[in-house]
Structures are given as C-alpha cells and as structure tokens.
Structure 1
Amino acid sequence: MSELESFSDLFQNKLFRIPDYQRGYAWKQSQLVDFWDDLVHLQEGRYHYTGLLSLKAVPKTETNKWNNDQWLINNRGYKAYHVVDGQQRLTTFSILMNEILTFVKGLEENDGKTEDEIVISYETLTSIRSKYISQKRPPQNMVTTYLFGYEMDNPSADYLIHKVFGEPHSGSMKETYYTQNLKFAKTFFSDCLENLFKSEGLDGIEKLYHKLAFQLMFNIHEIEEDYDVFVAFETMNNRGKKLSNLELLKNRLIYLTTLYDDDQLDSTDKDELRKKINNSWKEVYYQLGRNQNSPLADDEFLRAHWTIYFQYTRNTGNDYINFLLNKFSALNIFEKHIVLLEEETIEPINDDPLKDDDGEEIIEEDFSVNVSKLAPHEIRGYVNSLKDISEYWYMSYFPEHGDINTEEKIWLHRLNRIGIGYFRPLIAISLLPEQNITVDERVMLFKAIERFIFVCFRMGTFQSSYKSSFYYREGRDLYQGDITVHDIIKSLNESVEEDLNTALKNFSTKMDTRFSKHEGFYSWRDLKYLLYEYEYEKAMHSGIKKVGWEPFTTIEKDRVSIEHILPQTPTKWYWRNQFRQFTGDEIKTLSGSLGNLLPLSQSVNSSLQNDSFPDKKSVNTPGRRGYRDGSHSEIEVSDQEEWNATTILNRGLKLLNFIENRWDFSFEGEQEKLDLLHIGFVKEEREDVEEIPEEITLTLDEIPTTNGAEMTISEFQLDFWTNFINYCTEIGRESEIASRSPYSHNYYDVKFSNKNYHIFFNIIGSDIIRVGIYIYNENVFKLIEQQKDKIEQICGFELDWYTSKEDSVAKRVLYSSTTDLRDRSNYHQNFDWLISHYDKLKRALDVVEPL
C-alpha cells in the first residue's frame, strides 16, 4: 500500500483503461450529489480521503494493440494500467474535470481565446487538459490519446470520447444503460458549475478545480502480476455499489477463458471466445437500456434466461446466480475428464487382433486427452443465447419497437397491461425467428396466456407462483424443440377449464368481503383492466379510439379514474329522491356495484362531483364537459334517461356478459351473476315510497343580503364553518365530521380514533378549498408514504405529499381544488366537495395497513 496520492499525483505519466471484464459507469444522482457535496464543502487546505484505487499494470504484449496510445507508451514513458477497483470515482473525476474546462472556455469573457490563452489557478486550460484528459500527437495533431477511458471494444468507449469529452466526428453509436449514466453525469456537473458560477463567480470555479486536483486523496494499490485480478475484481467491487449478477457473471466468464490449457483452447481461440462474451454483453446492455426512459432490470433478464436455458426447479429458482456461478466456475475448468481418441491407422489383416504376424501379443495404447469438465463451446453457446434472446426480451416489453404483426403488438400490449409475470420468458422465446412460429400461432399463444392470467390470477387470486415451474419448463422445452407452441396453448386452455370453478368461487368470496366493507367492485384492483377492455372493444367496433391505456395508470391532471355514477355520498335531492325506497346500506351497495362504475377523466369527475344524473350527462358550463362528450363507455351511459337501481343492475349484467364473451367462459346462470353484483334486492317487490319534494332540498337557514365578499376574513371563515356544521347536521354527518364548534379560522379539524393523524379541511383566500391529512410525526408519515400508490388508487385523486417544511416534525398531505368560496350560493357545492373527499380519504386510510 503506497502513501496517499492526489489526482494530480495519480495522473503523472499514466494511462488508465477500464478492462472488458468491468461493468460500465453505474453512478446515479445520489452518488453524484455526495461527490459534489464532499468537494464543495471541503475546506481550503484540508484533504478528503476518497478510498482505495486498485490498479494493475498492462503488459506491453497487450498495449501493442492500443494503436493511438503507442506514442505515449513507447516514446513518452507513459505506463498503462487497468483499473480494477475505483473506476466509478475515476470516471466521475474525468467527467467533472472536462466539464470545468468546457465551462471556463465557454465564458463570455473567453470568447475567441484559445485554451493556451485561458488561465485558471495559474494553469492554462491546455496544460490542464494534457495532464488529465487528452494529448495530441505532434506534429500533425491528428491522433488524440485520452488518458482515461474504456478499452475500445466497449460501447462506453466511443460515448465517453465523443459525447462526454466532445471529440468530433463520432458517427452513429448505440446508447446503453451505462451511456445514459455518463450523459446524466455530464449534464449534472454542467448544471452544478453554472449554479456555482452564479453564486461565487470564477473564483468559486478555480477553488473547485484546486480541490478536485489536489485535495482528494487516495491509497493506490498496484496488483502484482501473478495475482488473480478477476477474483480481486469480484471481491473489491462488492464493497461499494454492489455488482449486479449480470455484471458479476460477465467477469467470471472472461476469467474462465484465461484458464483453459493451450492444447484445449489456444490463444487465438481464447481471444475469439472473449470477444464473443464482450459482444454478447454489449448487445444485452444495449437492449436492456434501449428505452432510456424505462431501462430493463438486468438481473431479471438473467434469471429469466436461466429458466429458459437450464432445467428449472423450484429448489434453485431463488438462487439462480449461485447455480450459474457454480456452473461457470474455475473448478469446472481445472477438473478434467479423459476423452479417448481414435488413432487413424491402417491395420494389417490379422485373424487375431491381439497378436502380430509373429504371434506376439500387442499391447494396446490409449490415445487420450484431458479435457475440462466445462467445455469452451458451453460458454460460447450460453453467451450466444443471452445475446439472441435479449432483443426479444426487450420486444416483449416494447412491442411497438419490434418488427412484428399489428395484432401481435396489440396482444403484447394487452399482456403488459394485465401483467405478464412469469410468462415473459416463454413469450420472448416465441418471438425468436428460429422457432418458426407463425403470426397466427403466436396470437393464439398470447390469447391463451392472457386468458389464463385473467381467470386464475385477476379473478381467482391464485398465488402469483401458481404453475410457474411448469410453464418455465414449457418455455425451455419449446426453446429446445421438445414441444410445439400448440402443446402449450392446449395446456393453458385446459388449465383454465380445470381451475375455473375454483377461480370463480374465490372471486365471489373476495367480492363478498369487499361489499362487507362498502367498497364493492371499486376496490378490485383489476377493475381498470376490465373497463379498459370494455372501452377498447367499443372503440374497435366504432373505429374511433377515445381513451388510451396510459391515462388509466398515470397520475396527472387528465388521467382516468374509476368513479361512481350514483355518488358514494348522495346528498343531492336528485339522488336521495331517485333511491328513496332503499336503505342507507343498500344505497352504499348499489354505489359499489359493477354497473355503477365508470371510467372518467379526473378533470371531469372533479367538476361533476355529486351533480344529478341529467347534469352529469350534459354540461352546458364553458370549460366543463359531461358524459355525452366523453369515452364510448360514458356515451353509452349518457343514453340512459335516468340513473336508478334497475339501470345499475342491467349495466352490471351487461359487463358480466362481456366478461363471459371476452374470456370465453360462463358463470353458473343468472343467480351467480346477481350474487356477484350483490344487488339482487333490486328485483324485490317493494311498496312505492312517496317522492321527496324538491322544495325540502337542504338549503342554508337564511341567505342574507350580505354576500361573503362583503365580510371580513374572520366573519367569512366563521360563516362558512357555521353553515358547514349545520349542513352536516341536516344530512346526519355531524357526529362523524362536524362535532366541533365553528371558529373563525381557515381550517376545520376532523379527529377520530387514530392517535397518529387526523383529517382537516382548509379554505384559502377566496378560491382554494382543500382536504388533507395532518400527520403528527415523521416516522408515521414515512409509513403512510410507503402506501402512497394504494392510497391514491383508492381515493381516485393525486395527493400533494411534500408541502411541509423539511425540518417540520408534523407533515401535511394535501388535495386542493379551486372554487368561488365567497359566493354563498356555492356553499352546498363546496360542502359536498369536502364531505365526498373526506369519505374517499378516510376510506383509503382505513384500507391501508393500520398505524
């Protein structure tokens, strides 16, 4: 172990290369922020220990292939090193140093100057660049040698040189998961330097450069020539940002190529096998990072491929990487087995093969060779398979980028919507051209898989691993050519038929539980998939697509939410009168029944709220739209004259009929459907109940001539909450929501049995109305935050989670809307908004894990 060195010391007459067994640049924002903060907050004259750098000298036999580097190595006395441990820090240093040079050169005051004329910290940019980034070979300066970089057989090599360091004439290049990280680091440091310059000027940039070059200190460890560098790499890299299994396996396979005896694999074949490994990983990482906005997990791909390539068993399924590392191990190279060879000789004619012509016994000689237990062709076959399948693994996620039939793309998108689960390896195999599967056969397979998933998992709620071992093996057998795709399709359909009764019973039991909690179909997590498929079918019939899948799943202003046509809290006269013959519990059941649920854009739902059905159907107010202008499903609902219990029942039966037709099975008659909908009571004969006269609709006790706009702030707030309490009392919600006296504040707290948080209401200014959760300490907030997605799914609206001050012990979670608060004729609408959003928020909090 040497003494501590700075970057300035480290870069004295050295070339650094990231070897092919290394992963690419893996640092992300959190590591970059830490690096920047350490640097910015490092005091002048102080040093910061940055860890150990492990290097291994590259012998001249290898550097002879480094054409652009030869002049520095042979004529300038530079020594070449492979970076075994510390490449993330060295890469980060190089990117930041280059960005400092680029930033300073781009300053307005340096416009038109050469790098020889620009000076920071008493050094020209030319001297800084030649010391840390690159040098040009004189006298023509046509060859540029970069002091730090990747070996050329790596996609990151070109990217670092051309896209990060700015070398011109790059041509086209593939971007991977790792090149995205390089791009992000460059942009990150560029932004940081811009902000530093704004606050501290050029002096701040100079100080930063000095800290970077001279005050970050390392221990430098040179690995001896006879030391096993591959094992060192595995050990060292598991200390920091842990290697992924895919990264670890690449290192292991390259290591194994060095262990074969020359008589089994000569140097040319070793180089070729190593090249195949690198090319395979290059393709794999390109495919996994091909969609820069949604990179695919490398370890998930590696495990999936393992199920395809090797014999899957549940015993080893969760420990696949140990299986692979044991399979591809040094022990299997060193452990030999004898292979007998036949010598090609012309035998004399002899009646007794054990005697020569003189009658002497012939001693048979064994011609044999020691061959490694793990043959080179096994490594070659494995890495070629990884490479070939990676493209179709990507296509299974993003079929729109694949060269496949439109109907195949439709079904692959459908499978991604419903959740492919453990079927993805099988689907990727089915897309391989060498499988010779026709388009029609693939579509039949995709249909059978989707049907199996919907019936067994989405309705039947079977365990997610149900039959996974079986279909992993089916995928491997298909890959090996031992079965046909028709065998798998038949198996899937037979499984659905065998499991159908159990699945429907499970579905019915789960639905009973949901209705007992007054949630009904609304809390079935796959309701969106069902309603989207219903909408999609209508779009196919009409030829007009009105709603895409993305709005169903993203949280944004105009996303789609599933809403109740008959409101969960029916306070308006229309609803109370329309359902007057039913009890409160029956109305809650009707509200959660399948036929009452409709996909709406959130903006529409927020504006319609508890409006009557005629008002929801057709809205004449500018900026708002009703069902008639919505999706196919909304338009279908708007064709109803009235919305009552019978229409809810009929629409529910229609949707269940759609399920039967779409997924090709039958419920056990009408009664089973009524039991599922939970509103069989609609068919009961009941005495007619006299209409509720519209004139007794709840109103304010007295609307004074003075409007809210003419009151002081305190008077208005007291008036608002006083009328809110009266309103809650009249509709029977005073004990739950409005048990506190009104105050002249802009908030009203609603406390309940939970001691960790309560719900509150806000009125802000003259136009903001708000509901929120007030959480008493940060630990409880973090627990609730972990279930953010579930809470928002149940609520049907996006909450603002991060408005509280960072140092605040208590935290607020908010949902706001705009309205005219001061117009007292809007009070009822605003009260309804508060009550309905309270109910949704309270329901979501009750469903999540108790705190």
Structure 2
Amino acid sequence: MESGKKSLEELTTAGVFHIPEYQRYYSWTEAEWNDLWTDLYTLPDGKQHYFGTIIIQETTQIEQAQKTNGYGGETKKSVNLLIDGQQRLTSLTLLVKAMTECLETVAPETDHEDAIRADVTEMREAFLIEDNVHFLQLLDEKDSEYLERIIAGDFLPDPERPSQRKMVKAKAYFDDHLETLRQQPTLDPLDVANELKQLWETILGLELMVYVVNANNPEKATLIFDSVNDRGRALSTFDKTKSFLMRMAYLAADDEGNGQSTITRIRQAFGQMYNDHQRLLDSPYVEDLKDDAVQRYHFITFFDWSSRKEHQTPRFLDELKAHVRTLRADDPEACLQYIREYVDSLEVAFNQLADILRYDADDEIDSLIERIHRLRHATKFYPLLLKSWPSLNDEGRRALLDAIETYIFRVYAIGNHPTYTGRSSIQTLTRDTPSGSSTDVWVQGIVNIMNRYRNDTEFRRALSSADLYKRVSSQDLRYLFYFYNEHRAESEGEVGAMSLAEAMGEKYTVEHIWPQSPKELPIDDAGDYPSPEQHYGAYLHRLGNLTLASKSWNSRWGNADFETKRDEGYEKSKLWVQWDIQDYDEWSTENIEMREETLIDEYIMEQWATPETRFSGLQTPEDVVAELTAEELFVLRALTQSSRGAARRVIHRRACEFPESPFENPGDGTERSRVGTILSRLSRIELARRDKSTWYPTDEMELVDVEG
C-alpha cells in the first residue's frame, strides 16, 4: 500500500495489523466511545467521516492461517506494525463485533436470514478474523488473547488489567446502544438489520490519511508520528515526549546506527513504562492516575526548575524540549547522552511508583502506604517518594512514611488547611534534596514544613476546637477514632472489630454522645453562655463528645439520651471507643472536657507526635552546630566564608583547602555531590539557604563561631 488518502475498506486490504511493544495499552473511555458512536451513527447520508491519520510500518512477516480439522489454512496476509491508530481500530473492532452479534440475533426474525448472515460473514472476514487470522493483534499477548476471546464469543475470565476492563466496558457500551436500537418501537427486525448495514457501509467508507513506512526505514515513522496531531484522541504529554525524544535522537545522531540505537532504547523504555502504568492503575490506591502526572512527578525530581509554573502539565514538556534542543545545537553527543539519562530515569520512576503503590513486602510499610492514601493527600508526596525511596532501607522507609502520614493528618485532616497548603514547599524540598540523602534529612524537611502550619501547640489547639466536628471531615474523624479504637483494643489484649477501609466506608459514622437533636435538653444551666441551648451547643461538636459508631447502631440509638445509650446502646457495641463511655455515671460538660484531654494527651499527641530527628529539641544554632558531623562542620565553615553566596563547587573547593579536611579533590564529582547533600541538610536545619544554584549562610549562622 502507498501513502495517501484512503478509505477504511482500502486499509483492510493491506494485511493485518500488530501493535508494537512501545505503544500504550488500550485506554479509551466512555467519552471516546461516545464520540465514535455519535459520529458514525448520526452521519448524514452522502457524507464521509474523516477518521484521522493512520501510520503503518511494513514488515517482511507473513501471517499464515492454520488448518482446523483439515480445512482452511490457505489465507496469507502481510503483517504491518500499527504505529498510530490502535485506539481507534481496537474500538472499531469491538463495535463491529457487537454489530455482528446484534445481526445474528435479528436475522431469524426476518425473511432475509441468509442474506443477513452473509453480511455478518463479510464483516467478520473484513475486520475481525478470516480463516483464523485476526485483523488486529494487540501488543501484549494476554490482551491480544482477551480480544480474540471477545471476537470468538468465548467465555471471558475476569479482566486482569485496566486495558482488558476497558475492552469489556467498550463492548458493553456498544451492546447497550445496539440494544436500544433494537427496542425502538418504530423499527422491526429488518429495519434494525438495514440500519446496521448502513452503519457498516459508513465504517467501510471512513476517510483516512494513511502514511506507510518502509520496513527498512523505521525511523521515518517517528518523524511522521511527531508531526501529526489529528488522532481520534489527542496525544498525551507523555506520548508527545516519546515522539519528541525519538525525533531529537534521530536528528542529533552523527550516524544512522547511533540514532537508531537510541530510538530503540526510547521505544523499549516507553514500552516498559506503559506496562508499569498498567500496574499503577491496578493499585488499590489510584483510580485513574495519568501517565502525564507520573512524568510530571519525575520532572520535579529530575529537572532544575525555578518556579512551579515550569513543572505544570504540559508546560514541563516545553522546558524539556528547550533544554534538549539547546543541547543538540551545542553538543549533539551530550544531547544523546541526556536523552538516554532522562529516559532511563523516567523508566525507573514509573517502575518505582508502581512498586510503591503495590507494595506488600513489609506489613508496617504496607499499612503506612494505605494510611497516607486513606487521608487523600498522598499524591503531593509522590515526587518526594520517587526520589527518596531507592536509597532507604525498610527502617528509613517506615520513618519517612510515618512523617508523611503525621504531616497529612495534622495539616490537612485536623488542621483543615486547603489542599494546596505546603505543596510548593514539598516540591522544593524534593528538588533541593539530593538523591541518596539519609532518612533524617527527608524527615527534617517534612517536619520543618509541617511546623509552619501545625506545630504541637497549633495541633493541640485545633483538636480542642469547639466546632471540631464541623471543621473536620467525617472521614478524617473516623480515621482518628479507628486508630484510637485499635489502641484501646490492643491495650486490652483484644483485636479491633473492623478494618480501616470499613471504618472510613459507608457502614460507619461519627457519633455524638450528647445527640445533635435531643428530645429534651440534658442541661438547664446557661453557665457563661446566654442560654442553656448555647451552652449545650458549645460542647456538642467538641472532640470529647464524639465517638465512632456503625450506621445501624447510630440509626437506632443516635438521638437517645445518654443514660439510654450507656445502658442499652454502648453495652451492645463491639467498639472499644463506645465501651469506654459506659464508665461514666453521667454525661456533662466536665466529662466532655476530661475525655477530650485524655484523648489528646494520652493518645493523639503521642500517636501523631512530631517525628524525631537528629536535631529534634535543639533550640539555638550553637546547639545544632554542636551536633554536626566532621564533614558537615567543614562544609559549614566553607559556607560561612561566603556571606555573599557561593555555588556548590566554590564551597567544595574552599572545604578542600582546610587542614585535615575530609574533602581532598575539588575536581572530584562524587565529593561535590556529598557537599551538595550536606548543604541541603544544613538548609533543612536552617543553617543554610539556597537561591537557585547559590548557597548562603542564614543570618543567625553568621553570628556563630564555627572555626574551632
């Protein structure tokens, strides 16, 4: 087949189509299925629908049909790689399969059964399968087998991955539309068959711009792919990155072999990243994490950005493009090396995040990963986890996750700060902390940011708020009481009655001990308030008046008076957070205050205590300096000689000049990296500050003598 404007019917004569391993998995959703159905089914008579660009790469392979019980096996078809168009052709395949099933259902209800069945055979052989040779073969063997099962109408096992689930949903979507067509009272079975015959003609007449790449010139597909942007679904930033990097590798290479080897590496890496993205989507913690988002998280860790705007989607691709193009103009070989390093690092990031979100090697780490996701702000820390995780052992990972969970619970759950609070600071911490830094450095950075918004005093004040119930979401309060219930059960040598997922699900609720709608006000003393009602209201939503209950329990006892709840309701509860309340003879403002203080002082402030680090509790710069290691002291001495600021290499050189310095070679890149790590550590403990690539001692540090 030659390149040019074609109909879909002409494309089907070119052979069969295989998806290469470096393409993404099937990913269309209802929005795209709806566009496809609407465009095809509502196309006016005499009009053609432009179906976008198809890029195919010819191969020398031939698909040979296999004989079945001695019959068939004569069909031979050329194999083409489908470089662009798999989402559309896969969706069309599922639509055509649904159409053939619908026609097979209505055919016996008409006087033209043989003719309709002949149409079904034509549709199957043209677009689905002919002589057991499939028109479309997906990149993954299991996905391809799953599609073949759908086409054959065989038993479908439960989908194992998101791409398979989407195929099942796509087929069901088209089935529903065809069933709606069949149920129209104005259409008899023959009318339905004619409608589908017209739809099939529309499909065959779809207008395409087909680009055909010779088997001996595969890099040409890369150049065409990068220049085309009229697909059925817009290219993601991630797809555009792959295309751009392949094109830059082709242009930067001094010979064809060097460029093709880099292009091959890019394809292999992106193929693996598409696979890791599937693993991500199978995690219990994310529903639809875009590959663009993962690439952005990696960009925050990899690129030396200067403002938050630079790492927004799709802006970060513009920054990457500008850097790569500059390198290509100045040093093509350095450009190729950078592309390989970027791709390798990006592949590691996808794999790393998939491993984190599917982690099951350590129960405590697994539990902490679940906890930060139940609190709904974990994605802010994904870049930080990507950068820190590889160099930490299990103990370090537990400490880091614990610090993240404490931050989220204090700042967003109880503190009720907006979702953007601290986000830029966390991203800056990630950018400025070198890979390989110790747990202490990461935790100290998190603690520093957390204390800006919810230090111990502010955290305690928030917990003691008179309107805590109204300020904090029900989910977050249930999270708190779940862990208190676990704590009480453990202290009694028992096991908790529910899982965290259950506590935060639909079966449990936050219970007011004094009810929100009492039949009779339990107090008649106004106290310091204008009326007993306002006195009651001032204690109603306090932490001390709240507990956890199942919804079934709450619907029965929720508005009862305290004595009834105590004697009948709490006694029948399976939760320690309710059993404890049986010990009170009465429920009063004094008991609410007492229970609140007990919860805060004896449990919450310990459970979500400020994480300990090497510098915890130190009050003055002099105290901090006294705890520094020898290497840290030498870097700090070099920094204090640069009150007007200095780059890392200058500080490294000055550190090498001191007698008995552990730094010996100003040209040693490994030493310079160690200096950078230490500078980041010093900034975490507020002895140094950074402005882009320049480091300064803090004002307080300039008053401290570190020469001794």
TM-score of the superposition, structure 1-length normalised? 0.59
Q: Larger Cα Rg: Structure 1 or Structure 2?
A: 1
Q: Which position in structure 1 is the counterpart of 2:335?
A: 374
Secondary structure of the residue aligned to 1:561 is: strand
1:597 pairs, out of 514, 532, 546, with 546
Cα pair 1:24 1:178 within 8 Å, conserved: yes
1:576–1:471 Cα change, 3 Å: closer
Residue 586 of structure 1 deviates from its aligned partner by 0.7
Q: Which position in structure 2 is the counterpart of 1:484?
A: 438
Cα pair 1:562 1:599 within 8 Å, conserved: yes
Q: Using the alignment, how far apart are the partners of 1:75 and 1:415 within structure 2?
A: 56
Number of corresponding residues: 584
Residue 438 of structure 1 deviates from its aligned partner by 2.6
Cα pair 1:47 1:215 within 8 Å, conserved: no
Q: Which position in structure 2 is the counterpart of 1:531?
A: 481
Q: Does 1:420 align with 2:420?
A: no
Q: Which position in structure 2 is the counterpart of 1:440?
A: 395
2:116 pairs, out of 95, 118, 121, with 121
Cα pair 1:230 1:251 within 8 Å, conserved: yes
Unaligned runs of 5+ in 2: 67-73, 612-708
Q: Which amino acid aligns with 1:380?
A: R
Residue 63 of structure 1 deviates from its aligned partner by 0.8
Q: Which position in structure 1 is the counterpart of 2:282?
A: 290
1:163–1:317 Cα change, 3 Å: farther
Q: Which amino acid aligns with 2:344?
A: N
Q: Does 1:560 align with 2:561?
A: no
Q: Using the alignment, how far apart are the partners of 1:145 and 1:237 within structure 2?
A: 31
1:268–1:492 Cα change, 3 Å: closer
Partner deviation per Cα, 1:312-335 (whole Å, 9 max, x = no partner): 433444436444454357735752
Q: Which position in structure 2 is the counterpart of 1:64?
A: 60
| Residues 660-809 of structure 1: pairs in structure 2 closer than 5 A | 660-664=605-609
Q: Which position in structure 2 is the counterpart of 1:221?
A: 209
Q: Using the alignment, how far apart are the partners of 1:507 and 1:232 within structure 2?
A: 61
Secondary structure of the residue aligned to 2:133 is: strand
Q: Which amino acid aligns with 2:597?
A: L
Q: Which amino acid aligns with 1:215?
A: T
Q: Which position in structure 2 is the counterpart of 1:331?
A: 325
1:413–1:128 Cα change, 3 Å: closer
1:507–1:457 Cα change, 3 Å: farther
Q: Does 1:308 align with 2:301?
A: yes
Q: Using the alignment, how far apart are the partners of 1:520 and 1:476 within structure 2?
A: 35
Unaligned runs of 5+ in 1: 111-116, 137-143, 338-370, 620-624, 667-851
Residue 602 of structure 1 deviates from its aligned partner by 2.1
Q: Which position in structure 2 is the counterpart of 1:248?
A: 240
Q: Using the alignment, how far apart are the partners of 2:434 and 2:412 within structure 1?
A: 26
Q: Which moved more, 1:223-232 or 1:645-654?
A: 223-232
Cα pair 2:469 2:542 within 8 Å, conserved: yes
Q: Which moved more, 1:303-312 or 1:234-243?
A: 234-243
Q: Which position in structure 2 is the counterpart of 1:165?
A: 151
Cα pair 2:65 2:133 within 8 Å, conserved: yes
Q: Which moved more, 1:239-248 or 1:468-477?
A: 468-477
Q: Using the alignment, how far apart are the partners of 2:502 and 2:310 within structure 1?
A: 36
1:147 pairs, out of 129, 135, 140, with 135
- By relative contact order (CA 8 Å, sep 6+), the higher-ranking structure is 2
1:454 pairs, out of 402, 409, 415, with 409
Partner deviation per Cα, 1:677-701 (whole Å, 9 max, x = no partner): xxxxxxxxxxxxxxxxxxxxxxxxx
Cα pair 1:259 1:333 within 8 Å, conserved: no
Q: Using the alignment, how far apart are the partners of 1:618 and 1:537 within structure 2?
A: 24
Q: Using the alignment, how far apart are the partners of 2:212 and 2:5 within structure 1?
A: 19
Secondary structure of the residue aligned to 2:169 is: helix
Residue 591 of structure 1 deviates from its aligned partner by 1.0
Cα pair 2:518 2:559 within 8 Å, conserved: yes
Residue 655 of structure 1 deviates from its aligned partner by 1.7
Residue 132 of structure 1 deviates from its aligned partner by 1.7
Cα pair 1:155 1:174 within 8 Å, conserved: no
Partner deviation per Cα, 1:565-610 (whole Å, 9 max, x = no partner): 21233233xx445768762211111112221112222222222242
Q: Using the alignment, how far apart are the partners of 1:23 and 1:646 within structure 2?
A: 62
1:69–1:662 Cα change, 3 Å: same
Q: Using the alignment, how far apart are the partners of 1:511 and 1:66 within structure 2?
A: 74
1:651 pairs, out of 577, 595, 601, with 595
Cα pair 1:561 1:599 within 8 Å, conserved: yes
Q: Which position in structure 1 is the counterpart of 2:250?
A: 258
1:68–1:160 Cα change, 3 Å: farther
Q: Does 1:212 align with 2:169?
A: no
Q: Using the alignment, how far apart are the partners of 1:325 and 1:178 within structure 2?
A: 29
Q: Which amino acid aligns with 1:183?
A: V
Q: Which moved more, 1:298-307 or 1:28-37?
A: 28-37
1:643–1:118 Cα change, 3 Å: same
Q: Which position in structure 2 is the counterpart of 1:802?
A: none
Say which structure is richer in helix: 2
Cα pair 1:24 1:156 within 8 Å, conserved: no
Q: Using the alignment, how far apart are the partners of 1:428 and 1:108 within structure 2?
A: 57
1:258–1:429 Cα change, 3 Å: same
Q: Which moved more, 1:646-655 or 1:118-127?
A: 118-127
Q: Which position in structure 1 is the counterpart of 2:345?
A: 385
Residue 422 of structure 1 deviates from its aligned partner by 2.4
Residue 393 of structure 1 deviates from its aligned partner by 1.6
Q: Which amino acid aligns with 2:349?
A: I
Root-mean-square deviation (CA, aligned residues, Å) is 4.4
Secondary structure of the residue aligned to 2:519 is: coil
